[in-house]
Amino acid sequence: MTDRPIIDIRNAAKSYGSLEVLKDISLQVKRGQIVAIIGPSGSGKSTLLRAINDLDPLTSGEVWLEDTQVNKKLPTRQYEAHINAVRQNIGMVFQHFNLFPHLNVRDNITLAPKMLKGLSKAEADQLAVEQLNKVGLLDRIDYYPSQLSGGQKQRVAIARALAMKPKVMLFDEATSALDPELVEEVNLVMKQLAEEHMTMIIVTHEMGFAQDVCDRVLFMDQGVVVEEGPPEVIFKAPANDRTKNFLRKHLKGQN
Amino acid sequence: MIRVFPFFLKAAWVTIQLSVLSCLLGLACGALGAAARLSRSSALRLAGATYVSVIRGTPALIQVFILYFGGPQVGIQLEAFEAGVLALGFNIGAYMTETMRGAIIAVDRGQTEAARTLGLSRFETFRSVTLPQALRLMVRPLGVNINALIKGTALVAAISVVELTYTAQRYIGSTYKPFEMFFLAGAIYMAIIYVTGLGVNWLDRRVALK
Amino acid sequence: MGLDFSVVPPFAAALLTGALWTIAITASAAVLSFFGGILFAVIALYAPLFIKLPFRLFAWLFMGTPLLLQLFLIYFGLIQIGIDLPAFVAGVIGLGLHYTVYNSDIIQSGIRAVDTGQYEAARTLGLSRIQALRKIIVPQAVRSVIPPIGNNMIALLKDSALVSVIGVAELTLSSQMAISRTFRPFEFYVAAAACYYVINLGLEAGLRRIERRIQIAR
């Protein structure tokens, strides 16, 4: 394992008109690291996550995936080819799953590998079987998304992202839209990924999960990283008042 | 182009007459049809449903032909223009029946219940509570029906009513300027539809204010 | 002269042939207008302005004028400038283009209604804009607008009677040919109407089956 970061965000800033949503943020994530980003809504944590695969482009600053700059300034056509290639290495899981409702579970998973990696149907199907096995949903392979529960949908969405063999996985509030009793099955899948040393960046509201699984926690507020450190420190002995306030509100009732 | 213009204007007047008369007939048929379909009598409901199903299930052109060419066999002798107005009116009436019925059904059931608990009769409730709200809902969709009707008047060209499309066809086939003739007739149709649209918008705003 | 429907059966074969042509012309125009509608919708939403504009003008013109007028232009008008289309082809093109414009309108709103998350998810996997459009957005949009497009197809079936006016020997013209031999318009037009009604029932049943089939994949 090298020490070079797999994701390197340098001086990221973003604004909509005069509204600054990200202010000069730098973040390095090493291979196998699991980083949680917490903070109140509107703090810029989702925007930062979505800047990593350039879904929400930065106003200034750089994002690097290993030795490739993700948000390179290129003419439109070249940029398109570049970003499509980069994104194949960055898996993303959304709050609202975004499974493709017109495709069954198998085709949701195999679509991109077949189109972009040139896998044959047999290879892609094999891949779908492997990934579904991993998330424990092999028996749902022929189902359509409308026939699945929220938790199952999110597990399929994770399998879909994993099928591209990404170098890093981004989770954007993956369990926020789920009924409480369905959260655990998704958390279990994420924990399992952690044990396999998948590099993960997780935007979450679940402090308990962040504490259990992550190596590092970033607390963001109003577009800046207020405080960061190992979960023991952030959760048990935060230095900043804003962090303390936030945690007091959010740890109540949890654990 | 200038030479043919008066003929097109005269034809446009015929198209407007066709549209207005068949629209009035259509609204009457629509109101009766909707009343029948929502009536408590199952015979009336069946009659209404049959009217809608038969008219909407067959081409308007055939309906025009049955009335105009087949009429004399059953003792109905009509001029082409009259047959056109009647057939187009009955035809659009079936679509308007569904529009009006839909609007009436769409009025919240709680409204009826509230009125009935106040002691209003079924008829009173309909007249003073359901209908005013339904009218508001039906203006726009009826506008869509009327838009289709105006374009639909073209098919009486097939029974030689000298309206816009009939006139345009004559010149499309005989002058060497088919596109100009098409655009001229097309522009007149669109003008008629545009003005009708303004009327519908005005009506929509007026009923919405209440 | 009273009514006598016994004049109809001797012409049953001719009417049936006409009905088959009606089905053929409706099906051809339906296919043309379905794929044409998708193409037009994508152009109207995503093409650069100088391509969009002529298409918009065309759509505006075809929506604001009667189908019969359009058929006359395509059949009698194009001959004037040296394009002599067979009546069947002119009929399919006229009906097809007319309903292309209407279908395009519906498909455009269907595309706009597809959740942006779908596009994001596709792009996140590495799909290009075109790939996302082709594999994710358009298929979903089309599924969501099948019911209104089905209604257009039902209207198309009935409008196919208009091509009798330019001489396509479909159901309406077949009944007219029988009338010219028997002078019995009422009986034959009613017979034709009955045939249309039956075809219409079949079409509606077929559309309902399709709607049920795509229900879970939405």
pLDDT at A199: 96
B54: nearest CA in chain C? C197
- Domain with C61, as residue range(s), is 5-217
Task: Determine the average pLDDT of the residues in B143-155.
Answer: 95
Dihedral sign for Cα atoms in the order C116, C119, C122, C124: negative
**Start-to-end Cα distance in chain B:** 48
Polymer length of chain A:
255
Q: What is the CATH number of the domain that holds C10?
A: 1.10.3720.10
Total CB pairs under 8 A between chain A and C: 72
Q: Which of A80, A87, A101 lies at the smallest CB-CB distance from C124?
A: A87
Residue of C nearest to A56 (CA): C120
Strand partners, A28: A8
Consecutive H or E run containing B96: helix B80-106
Query: Could you tell me how far CA A34 lies from the centroid of its own chain?
Result: 10
Confidence of residue B190 (pLDDT cuts 50, 70, 90): very high
| Average pLDDT rounded to a whole number, residues C191-201 | 95
Q: What local confidence, expressed as pLDDT, does residue C84 receive?
A: 87
pLDDT of residue B106: 87
- C122 contact A CB<8A: yes
Whether residue A249 is predicted with pLDDT greater than 50 in this model: the reply is: yes
The highest-confidence range among B136-145, C24-33, C136-145, by mean pLDDT, is C24-33
Touch test A–B: 3 Cβ pairs or more under 8 Å: no
A92 close to C (CB below 8 A): yes
**Cβ–Cβ < 8 Å for B105, B147:** no
- Look at residue B128 in the predicted model and tell me its pLDDT: 78
For an interface test with C, give the residue of B50, B55, B65 to mutate (most C CBs within 10 A): B65
C217·A80 Cβ contact <8 A: no
In the DSSP assignment, the letter for residue A144 is -
More reliable by pLDDT, C183 or A251: C183
Cα atoms found within 13 Å of the Cα of residue B148, Cβ hemisphere only: 20
pLDDT score of B56 more than 90: yes
In the predicted structure, residue A255 carries a pLDDT above the cut 50: no
The answer to whether residues B62 and B56 touch, using CB atoms and an 8 Å cutoff, is no
Q: What is the largest CA-CA distance in chain A?
A: 56
Write the DSSP string, A175-241.
TTTS-HHHHHHHHHHHHHHHHTT-EEEEE-S-HHHHHHH-SEEEEEETTEEEEEE-HIIIIIS--SH
Please state the ipTM of this predicted complex.
0.90
> Model confidence over A2-39: pLDDT tens digits?
568 999 999 999 999 889 999 999 999 999 999 999 99
Q: Which of A12-26, B50-64, B98-112, B147-161 has the lowest mean pLDDT?
A: B98-112
For chain C, the 3-state helix, strand and coil shares in percent, each to the nearest 5, are 85, 0, 15
Amino acid sitting at position C17 = T
Q: Does A101 touch chain C (CB under 8 A)?
A: yes
Which chain C residues contact residue A81 at CB under 8 A? 128
Average pLDDT over residues A146-161: 95
For residue A24, the model assigns a pLDDT of 94
Shortest distance between the Cα of A159 and any Cα of chain C, in A, equals: 12
Tell me what pLDDT residue A204 has: 94
CATH of domain B5-207: 1.10.3720.10
Does the beta-carbon distance from A164 to C125 stay under 8 Å?
yes
What is the rounded average pLDDT of the residues B64-80?
93
CB of A47 less than 8 A from some CB of C: no
A21-35, A106-120, A130-144, B1-15 — which is least confidently predicted? B1-15
Phi-psi region of A70 (alpha: psi -120 to 50; beta: other; left: phi over 0): alpha
Q: pLDDT, tens digit, for every residue of A63-86?
A: 999 999 999 999 988 998 999 999
What is the rounded distance in angstroms from the CA atom of residue C187 to the CA atom of residue C91? 26
Going by the DSSP 8-state scheme, the letter that residue C3 receives in this structure is -
pLDDT averaged over chain C?
92
Token pair belonging to C60: 């505006």
B140 phi-psi bin (left φ>0, alpha ψ -120 to 50, beta other)? alpha
Chosen from C81, C189, C197 to mutate, greatest number of chain B CBs within 10 A: C189
CA proximity to A34, closest of A202, A218, A172:
A202
| Among B61, B157, B176, beta carbon nearest to C172 | B61
| pTM of the entire predicted model | 0.84
- Across residues A103-125, what is the average pLDDT? 93
Kindly tell me if the per-residue pLDDT of A254 is higher than 60. Answer: no
Greatest Cα-to-Cα distance within chain B, rounded to the nearest angstrom? 71
With a cut of 90, say whether residue B173 has pLDDT above it: no
C172 interaction partners in chain B (CB closer than 8 Å) = 59, 61-62, 65
Residues of C with CB below 8 A from A112's CB? 125-127
CA-based nearest distance C41→chain A, Å: 19
Distance in Å, alpha carbon of C67 to nearest chain B alpha carbon:
8
Instruction: Tell whether the model's pLDDT for residue A100 goes beyond 50.
Output: yes
Res. A222: pLDDT tops 80: yes
**Is the model's pLDDT at A253 over the cut of 70?**
no
Number of H helices, E strands in chain C: 11, 0
Q: pLDDT value at position B1?
A: 65
- Domain ranges in chain B? 5-207
Residue B63: both structure tokens together: 């309906």
C23-41: average pLDDT: 96
Interface check C212 vs A, CB under 8 A: no
Q: What is the tens place of the pLDDT at every residue in C44-91? A: 999 999 999 999 889 999 999 999 999 988 988 888 778 888 999 999
Average of per-residue pLDDT across A204-223: 93
Identify residue B204 by its one-letter amino acid code: D
- Give residue-wise pLDDT tens across range B90-124: 999 999 999 999 999 888 777 877 877 777 777 87
Which residues in chain A have Cβ-Cβ distances shorter than 8 Å to C118?
98, 100
Cα–Cα dist A117/A107, whole Å? 15
- pLDDT on residue A64: 96
Widest pairwise Cα distance in chain C: 75
pLDDT digits 0-9 by tens, C134-191: 999 999 999 889 999 999 999 999 999 999 999 899 999 999 999 999 999 999 999 9
Helices (H), chain A: 45-52, 76-87, 105-117, 121-134, 150-162, 180-195, 207-213, 231, 241-251
Q: Do C185 and B66 touch (CB under 8 A)?
A: yes
Q: Which residues of chain A does C120 touch, with a Cβ-Cβ cutoff of 8 Å?
A: 55, 94, 98
What is the pLDDT, as a whole number, of residue C204? 94
Average pLDDT (C19-36) is: 96
Measured distance CA(A203)–CA(B198) in Å, rounded? 52
Mean pLDDT of C199-203: 95
Q: In the prediction, which pLDDT does A61 show?
A: 95
Mutation target among A92, A102, A104, A168 for the C interface, most CBs of C within 10 A = A102
Q: How many domains does chain C have?
A: 1
Looking up tokens 């042939």 gives: C17
Is residue C33 within 8 A of residue C99, CB to CB? The reply is yes
